[in-house]
Amino acid sequence: MFFHDEARFGRIDSIASCWVPKGCRASAGNQIVREYTYLYGAFCPETGDSFSLILPYVNQDCMSLFLDMFSEKFSDYRIILAMDNASWHSKKKDIENIVPLFQPPHSPELNPAEHVWEHIRENGGFKKNFRRC
């Protein structure tokens, strides 16, 4: 049994204060930047196995890609994949070795994958815990 969830990681620039010598005025350019990336992950608490993809969006197409690659990676297993009822999960995509198990609405505490994202955010964020291959 695996637990699946997505998490958004990103950057939003904001204006900050700075120190300048008396009589001077600070001048700095400001550009509002909103950049996000999404981490799709599935984790098995019993075995410690995991699978994740970094994708640009949370939508049906990205979810289908994640499921296809996850299915291929664990092709020798029959997997129960527990996940929430996000709209991009609800459209059925039949994959031979994955059986979806949907959580009740408004119950993130039932999904251990939620705690993985907490751990990543509390311990240095995205760049510290992941590296590109």
Q: Decide if 102 contacts 85 (C-beta within 8 A).
A: yes
Domain ranges across the chain: 2-9+40-127
Per the model's pLDDT, the better-predicted residue between 27 and 83 turns out to be 83
Residue where the block lists tokens 């984790």: 43
Per the model's pLDDT, the better-predicted residue between 93 and 122 turns out to be 122
Is residue 128 scored above 50 in pLDDT? no
E-state strands within the chain = 2-12, 34-43, 50-55, 79-83, 98-102
Give the H or E element holding residue 68.
helix 60-73
Q: What is the pLDDT of residue 14?
A: 63
Is residue 33 scored above 60 in pLDDT? yes
Residue where the block lists tokens 């010598």: 21
The verdict on pTM exceeding 0.95 is no
